[in-house]
Each structure stands twice: as structure tokens, then as C-alpha cells.
Copies of this chain bind each other. A is one copy, B any other.
């Protein structure tokens, strides 16, 4: 997501999503209003309502956009080597998150609303299932190829996502610059402990 000005030939949906991102960055989720998004969009709230009935509809579309960007980044990972691919996935989840600290804050606010907001909850659940599937697949490929030790790939993927979610939350809640790097190191240690071959005793 770049901060370039909206071009006049840009898709209105894209321009509104980018305006939503800027408004979320400036005001946070709790103080987000259609008026503030419209101000960033440079048009009236009516122009936004023409595309999205409610603020929650727009935010659900915003989540789809963020999740889509993540999927694009993952698809750009071309290596098929299981060890390298797992490392690059963990970098995407725990290192690249540093690039957009204001997005991490807004996402934690939206995540905390999941119990009250079904469209949010569905998107977070689907995205989590998707990322766990990616992790499980690469772990099972490594086990099949003999580069990883035999392990419960489904459980390992869940633990890695627990570390990812914990590190991201701590970066926001505790304002800790080191939270993501601690999480990255923890993920590497957990992978080493569960997936590295150990000498037979």
C-alpha cells in the first residue's frame, strides 16, 4: 500500500480503500467516520455511500484488500525449497509487518471487534485458515522430502500463528520495537526444536 496521490483514472473502489487506509492511520478504528474517509477521498460521503452502504461494508472490503495484498506478497515467493519457503513465509508474517505500524494498530482494533462483528470475524478466520494451510503445506513438503523431521504439521502451523499473533499484539499494546524480532526468533527456535532432525541417542 503506497501513499501516492490518487490518480484521476484510478478505480473508485481502489481510491476509497486507499482513503480508508489513510483515515485509519490518522484516526484509528474507534474514531473512524465516513466523514473522515470522505475527507481523505476528497469527495462527499454520498460518493462513498454510492459504493458502500455502511462503514462496516467498507471496512470489510478494506480487510479483503489487506488480505489480498498479503496473498499477492506470498504468491511472489517463488522458491519451492521447503526450508527456504518456510523462512520467507515467517519473514512475511513477522518482519514485513514492521513496514506499516499504523496498519498493525488498526488491525488489532478491528480484530478486537470480531466477537461483535461477524463479517470481520469471518475474514479473520478465513485468513488464518489460509495462512495455516500455507504453513502446513510447506512443512509437509519438507517432511516428505526428508529435510524436516516427522512432526504434527497442523499443530506446528497453529503454534507459529500463535507466535505471529502474539508478537503483533505486543508490538501494538506495549509499543515494543523488539516484539516482532522476538517473535521471529521464537518462530525460528520453535521450527528448529520441532522440525530439525536430531542425532539419534
Contacts and interface: CB of A to CB of B under 8 A. Distances in A.
A165 B115 CA distance: 17
Contacts of A170: 128, 161-162, 165
Contacts of A128: 170, 174
Contacts of A199: 201
Copies of this protein chain in the complex:
2
Given A161-B166, A162-B163, A163-B163, 5 more contacts: A30-B30, A111-B172, A125-B174, A162-B167, A190-B190
Nearest to A102: B115
Nearest to A28: B116
Nearest to A127: B174
B30 A159 contact: no
29 contacts: A29-B112, A105-B112, A108-B111, A108-B112, A109-B112, A111-B112, A111-B172, A112-B112, A112-B172, A112-B173, A114-B172, A114-B173, A114-B174, A115-B175, A124-B173, A124-B174, A128-B170, A158-B182, A162-B163, A162-B182, A162-B183, A163-B166, A165-B166, A165-B169, A166-B167, A189-B193, A190-B190, A192-B193, A199-B201
